[in-house]
Structure 1
Amino acid sequence: MHISAKADYAVRALLELAQDTARPLTCESIASSQEIPFRFLKSVVGELRRAGLVRSQRGCEGGYWLGRPADEISLLDVALAVDGELMTLRGEALAGLDYPGPAAGVPDIWRDIEANARRILERTSVGSLLAERVAV
């Protein structure tokens, strides 16, 4: 399995935003705090904004905020916002995958793995990750 850098960076950026909701954060401050390449983060945050997971304000008092409460942003929302698909095989969705002969059962295994990953990501919110960190 492969977790994209975009998904990883997106989750980390959202956690930074969820940690302090009183003020907007700039991409520069998030990139610095999380040791993420600024240009890459800027692109990722743009995708999060288009998906409604963050909102932005321009100007010297501007920056980024969560687009909705952290408890309402699942990791599945994040992965789909930045990657489009949860899992693919050679760039293709698993839904129509079909193999002949003795390999006929393999696509079902890949789809089961995707379904399990989807359930875990769907039930894990940005808010729950932040709460786990605070509880430790």
Structure 2
Amino acid sequence: MHISAKADYATRALLELAREPGRPLTCEAIASSQQIPFRFLKSVVGELRKAGLVRSQRGCEGGYWLGRPADDITLLEVARAVDGELITLRGETLTGLDYPGPAAGLPSVWRRIEADAAAVLGATTLTSLLPGHTAARPARTGAA
């Protein structure tokens, strides 16, 4: 599974906003704090705003805030907001994927991997990732 730079940067930006939800942050401040390229972050934050995960205000008192409480935003939402589908195969969704003969069972493996990844990401909120958070982290699935 490939985790895109967009999903990584989007999550890191949201975690910066979640750390101090009462005050707005500029893209410059987030980019500097997280060592993210400013121009790339600007486009990622635009996608997060369209998805309702951040809100913005212009002006000298402006910046970005979370669009919802941090405990209500999951990593699954973040990934889908910036990347669309969680897993694709050659740029196509896994829906309707079908192989002939001995490879017939393979599409169900790809779909199971997608479902497992979605379950982990869907159970992980921004709040659960913040330093000092005491709630249980999502259970790991599969053999370690």
CA positional deviation for 1:135? 4.7
The alpha-carbon deviation at position 60 of structure 1 amounts to 0.9
Task: Give me the whole-angstrom Cα distance separating, in 2, the residues matched to 1:96 and 1:116.
Answer: 18
Match in the other structure for 2:132? 134
Give the whole-Å Cα distance in 1 for the aligned partners of 2:112 and 2:32. Answer: 38
Listed as ranges, the gaps of 5+ residues in structure 2 are 135-144
Q: Partner of 1:134: helix, strand, or coil?
A: coil
User: Which residue is 1:34 aligned to?
Assistant: 34
1:37-56 equivalence runs, <5 A: 37-56=37-56
| 1:22 corresponds to | 22
Determine the C-alpha separation between the residues in 2 that align with 1:84 and 1:65.
22
What amino acid is aligned across from residue 134 of structure 1 in structure 2?
G
Letter aligned with residue 111 of structure 1: R
For each residue in 1:36-92, what CA deviation from the matched residue of structure 2 results, as whole angstroms up to 9, or x when unmatched?
A: 000000000000000000000000110000000000000000000000111000100
5+ unaligned residues in a row in structure 1: which ranges? none
Partner of 2:138: none
CA distance, structure 2, for counterparts of residue 22 and residue 9 of structure 1: 21
Matched residue type, 1:105: G
Percent sequence identity is: 76
Are the counterparts in 1 of residues 12 and 34 from structure 2 also a CA contact under 8 Å? yes
Matches of 1:135 and 1:10 in 2, distance apart?
20
1:64 maps to what in 2?
64
Q: Distance in 2 between matches of 1:123 and 1:32?
A: 29
Higher relative contact order (CA 8 A, sep 6+): 1
For residues 81 and 12 of structure 1, the distance between their equivalents in structure 2, rounded to whole angstroms, comes to 14
Corresponding residue number in structure 2 for 1:77: 77
- TM-score w.r.t. structure 2 length? 0.91
**1:3-54 residue CA offsets vs partner (Å, 9 max, x unmatched):** 0000000000000000011210000000000000000000000000000000
Where is the helix percentage greater, Structure 1 or Structure 2?
Answer: 1
Q: Structure 1 residue runs of 4+, over 2 Å off?
A: none
